[in-house]
Amino acid sequence: MTRVIAVTGKGGTGKTAITTLLIRHLTRGNKVVLAVDADPDTNLPETLGCEVHRTIGDVKEFMHEERDNLPPDVNKQSILESKLYEVLEEMPGYDLLVMGRPEGSGCYCYVNNLLRGIMNKLVDNYDVLIIDTEAGLEHFSRKIFKQVDDLIVVTDGSRRGMGTAERIRELVGELETDVAHIYVIANKVTDSTSETIIRTAAELELELIGMVPLDEMIVQRDLAGQPLMELPDDSPAVKEIENISRKLNL
Ligand SMILES: Nc1ncnc2c1ncn2[C@@H]1O[C@H](COP(=O)(O)OP(=O)(O)O)[C@@H](O)[C@H]1O
Ligand SMILES: [Mg+2]
């Protein structure tokens, strides 16, 4: 069974950084990983250190446009499948798919329906599927991903951030996707914020699974435009991700 992990939270809290460090952990443990960037504000390829030229959005656009031109006897499912493999970026230890967005504004229900079947089949090839997603959980409401084992809400520890975690829990209740566990990771934690974070999480009855410190090594890499995959083992954020991974049994 593929373990499905979705990382969500408010923009800027560190979803992409946390996703990257979880991928760093997983690939070092020789897990076969499919990483999906499902945030329209795509930046996972950059933090992973991987160049991506085409997205699933482009494939959707192609299928949407070609739908009426394709002869009725061709198998549209297999065309979409081969197109999907073309945009699957193969990296050492993991594969990456970027969802992106189709250009047009039409209804993509037809393509989304095809995509759902293909994605669910593709996912079986991996030990872990990890999705960097936006706070709106758009791809889950379209049921592209039908089941999630661990929904990780990243918060920066501010009241607003914690409010988002609570809102996401409500949203999950309304979704048709099955979510087995919801956890919160507080990120960019400092001495002055840790106490408030622990208290707020308890008040909101959120399961706080880890507190990733504000890490100067991440700040430096971010400024230099360097990926986070090669952060050293002694980076404080990496160490906490190791603790979290242990708790999550990853
Ligand atoms: N633990 C951390 N310590 C220091 N900087 C961090 C940490 N986590 C994330 N950042 C920085 O915060 C910014 C937002 O992080 P990012 O992962 O892009 O957020 P999101 O994906 O939620 O929008 C980036 O500049 C990133 O380098
Ligand atoms: Mg991001």
Task: Say what the pLDDT of residue 48 is.
Answer: 97
Q: What is the pLDDT of residues 135-180, one digit of tens each?
A: 777 767 667 777 899 999 999 877 777 888 888 888 887 777 788 8
Q: Could you tell me whether strands 94-98 and 208-213 are parallel, antiparallel, or unpaired per DSSP bridges?
A: unpaired
Q: Which of 132, 154, 188, 239 to mutate to test the pocket of ligand 1 (most atoms within 8 A of CB)?
A: 188
Tens of pLDDT, residues 58-114: 988 888 888 888 888 888 888 889 999 999 999 999 999 999 877 777 777 888 888
Q: Which of 42, 133, 218, 223 to mutate to test the pocket of ligand 1 (most atoms within 8 A of CB)?
A: 218
Span from the CA of 218 to the centroid of ligand 2 (angstroms): 14
Give 106's contacts (C-beta < 8 A, 6+ positions apart).
64
H/E segment holding residue 112: helix 109-123
The predicted structure's pLDDT at residue 171: 82
Helices (H), 67-100: 76-87
State the Rg of the chain over Cα: 18
Structure tokens at 1: 């069974």
Ligand 1 atom nearest 9 alpha carbon: 22
Task: From the CA of 228, give the closest atom in ligand 1.
Answer: 27
Supply the angle between the helices 76-87 and 109-123 in degrees, to the nearest 10: 60
| CA of residue 205 to ligand 2 center, whole Å | 26
3-state secondary structure of 3: strand
**Cβ-count burial 214-250 (b if 16+ within 10 Å, e if not):** bbeebeebeeeeeebbebeeebbbbebbbebbeebeb
Nearest CA to ligand 1 atom 11: 14
Residue 63's nearest CA partner among 26, 31, 104 is 104
3-247: CATH number: 3.40.50.300
Of 86, 74, 90, 147, whose CA–CA distance to 116 is shortest? 147
Model confidence pLDDT, tens digit, residues 43-58: 999 999 999 989 998 9
CA 68 to centroid of ligand 2, rounded, Å: 36
> Which of the four pLDDT bands, split at 50, 70 and 90, describes residue 115?
confident
